[in-house]
Structure 1
Amino acid sequence: MNRLVPSLFFSAALSLGTGTAQAGLPGQAILYKNPQCGCCDEYARQLEALGVRVAIVDDVPIGQVKERAGLPYGLGSCHTIEMGEYVIEGHVPFEAVERLFEEQPDTDGMGLSGMPIGTPGMPGLKQEEWDIYQFRDGEAQPFVTL
């Protein structure tokens, strides 16, 4: 599986302290984003409310992060998260994230392309169904529709 390689600094920062994550979620995550993206910060805050410690990295080229993660072309969003053994792309609803860690499929990660209104971190009410995909080796397949 493709995995991001965080710097020792961020790995050490994440290992400080402990928290209890819900529904089998890992206790820590690294969120890669552009410095000016506030919706990514809100997603991180909501993930932290579930008990996941989030280190935000906003000083690396986000396109390179997505490429190293093996994200399928054209299915990106504004942030990429390394969490446990998986990569999570974009504003994936936490129900799907929890399902990923409960089922532990043989995949590199999952994502929700774009920035859909009503998803965690995005303002407004849900306006449509969200098609969350999983990916492996740069190829996407359906995971769940919420």
Structure 2
Amino acid sequence: MKKSYLMQAVFSGALTLSLPAHAGEDTVVTVYKSPWCGCCEVWTDAVKAAGYKVIIEDHEDLNAIKKQAGVPDDMQACHTAVIGGERNYIVEGHVPLEAMEKMMSERPDIHGIAVPGMPMGSLGMGDDPDARYTVYEIGANTAGAAKPYMEMGQ
């Protein structure tokens, strides 16, 4: 199995995430997921349909990837994605397209955004526009408490 760019960074001890060379574009999303996760497939299909180029890296165990990506334990979900070209952001879990687009247009000084767990109605979990859940900011200092980034369904 081909080593992912993120896994190469994990094994080399690098502190930064690595992306494919063509990822200078902000429309490339690299998704690290389980090969058996159907809701991850639905999420990646929606991201593709929104115009992003999606690179899928299937892995049976995502723990090392989440650790390398700096995803706090309480923010973890079923898949981890990286977007951003020169300024990499983490997108953890069933983050809606609106939150990704907001982050990429505003370029906040954060590590990324997350929808922990698998909330019903989130993108990939039914995609109900009325579903109420919170998208959290993963701060530059991932040890701090999570802060709401965007409220969905309001």
Q: Flag whether TM exceeds 0.5 (same fold).
A: yes
> Bigger CA drift: 120-129 or 40-49?
120-129
Post-superposition CA distance 1:76-106 (Å, at most 9, x none): 1000000112000000111111111111110
Question: What RMSD over aligned residues (CA atoms) do the two structures have, in Å?
Answer: 2.1
- Find the aligned partners of 1:97 and 1:51 in 2 and give their Cα distance: 12
* Displacement after TM superposition at 1:63 (Å): 0.9
Tell me which of the two structures has the higher relative contact order, counting C-alpha pairs closer than 8 angstroms and 6 or more residues apart. 1
1:64 corresponds in structure 2 to 64
1:89 corresponds in structure 2 to 92
Q: Within 5 A, what are the aligned runs for 1:26-45? A: 26-45=26-45
5+ residue gaps, structure 1, are: 17-24
- Find the aligned partners of 2:134 and 2:32 in 1 and give their Cα distance: 22
Q: Within 5 A, what are the aligned runs for 1:111-126? A: 111-123=114-126, 125=128
1:5 to 8, 18, 21: 18
Q: Secondary structure at the match of 1:74?
A: helix
* Displacement after TM superposition at 1:59 (Å): 2.6
- Find the aligned partners of 1:59 and 1:124 in 2 and give their Cα distance: 25
Q: Secondary structure at the match of 2:59?
A: coil
2:141 to 137, 141, 145: 137
Q: Give % identity.
A: 34
* Displacement after TM superposition at 1:71 (Å): 1.0
> What TM-score do you get using the length of structure 1 for normalisation?
0.80
Name the count of aligned residue pairs.
131
Post-superposition CA distance 1:31-58 (Å, at most 9, x none): 0011110111111110011111111111
Structure 1 stretches of 4+ with a deviation exceeding 6 A read: none
Instruction: Kindly indicate whether the alpha-carbon contact (under 8 Å) linking 1:70 and 1:137 is maintained by their aligned counterparts in 2.
Output: no
- Find the aligned partners of 1:38 and 1:29 in 2 and give their Cα distance: 18
2:10 corresponds in structure 1 to none
* Displacement after TM superposition at 1:144 (Å): 1.4
AA of the residue aligned to 1:74: D
- Find the aligned partners of 2:128 and 2:110 in 1 and give their Cα distance: 30
> What TM-score do you get using the length of structure 2 for normalisation?
0.76
- Find the aligned partners of 1:80 and 1:117 in 2 and give their Cα distance: 18
